[in-house]
A = this chain, B = another copy of it.
Amino acid sequence: MRKVGIIGLGLIGGSLALELGEQGWQVLGVSRQAKTCQIALEKGIVHQSSTNLSLLQTAEIIFICTPLAAIIPTLEDLIPYLNNPQTIITDVGSVKAPIVNQCSQLWHYFVGGHPMAGTAEQGIEAAQKNLFVGTSYVITPTEKTPLEAVEKLAKIALSLGSNVHYCTPEIHDRAVAWISHLPVFISAGLIDACLGEKDPQVITLAKKLASSGFRDTSRVGGGNPELGVMMAKYNRESLLRSLYDYRQHLDYFIELIESQQWESLDKKLQQMQQERPTFLG
């Protein structure tokens, strides 16, 4: 029976475990917390479970599903337990270059991955089937990544119902800076700016009148703070580049309004209306 190891039994790790177990893999789950191991076993999410990485010794492929900051230290801790140098190791982190560059040096059969799935819920209790169906799974090999590792991961991603994309870690990080990380800070800035309103009558009324436009535009800015900090910390360079560019584009809108160039503003907004659907496939 083919064995898969999963380290970190949260929403992503737990959901992966559920899917792969159903596909006939022997699922070995590792969590730092004994309680999580117990829940995973009780719920039938994993076949075996431990707080000790030695459990994964004989796995064919291992998914590191920890938060970003723990991926590299986890790989360092894991390596001494592995007998087979062709064990494939992958991660699910939302930033790739800093992870992949270091992990590839530590382990030749490392291949970076980023399943872009999620819900508002977190933790093993939120694990669910079909979480990955129709979502994007980005695989980010380097020039040195063994093709076999890439192919095995792609096959698993496809089996989850994901759409698989391949690119370098750097291209990945620049693309997600635009469509995933930049929106968080644009959106947080909106909430922060509104809260800065000094007139109590204005802010009280604004809070009463806020409806779908404010709700949607502020959603990701009011999301998980830990995740926002991780994006900024690990994808700092690409995010800053996007933020600087964004500021220039915002300034152009401000300039059009200052100088009352209504025709140009209309053209620009028409272009936005036409182009937005090209992002929403």
Contacts and interface: CB of A to CB of B under 8 A. Distances in A.
Interface of A: 116, 135-136, 138, 163, 165, 167, 171-172, 174-176, 178-180, 182-197, 199, 201-203, 205-211, 213-226, 228-229, 232-233, 236, 239-240, 242-254, 256-258, 260, 262, 265-266, 268-273, 275-281
Q: Is the interface of A mostly helix, strand, loop or mixed?
A: helix
Nearest to A278: B207
Contact of A194 (B179, B207, B215, B268): B179
A253 B270 CA distance: 29
Nearest to A180: B213
Nearest to A279: B210
A43 to B, nearest CB: 27
B246 A189 contact: yes
A194 B250 CA distance: 12
Nearest to A199: B174
A178 B206 contact: yes
Contacts of A246: 189-190, 193
Nearest to A173: B202
Contacts of A222: 272-273, 275-277
Nearest to A269: B225
Given A180-B209, A180-B214, A260-B236, A191 B253 contact: no
The 8 closest A-B pairs by CB, nearest first: A222-B276, A225-B269, A183-B217, A175-B205, A210-B279, A189-B250, A193-B246, A179-B210
21 contacts: A136-B208, A138-B209, A171-B201, A172-B205, A178-B194, A178-B206, A189-B250, A191-B272, A191-B276, A192-B249, A192-B271, A207-B279, A210-B280, A218-B276, A223-B273, A225-B269, A225-B272, A226-B266, A232-B265, A243-B250, A247-B251
Contacts of A275: 191, 195, 222
B232 A243 contact: no
B206 A179 contact: yes
A253 to B, nearest CB: 5
Contact of A186 (B190, B205, B245, B280): B190
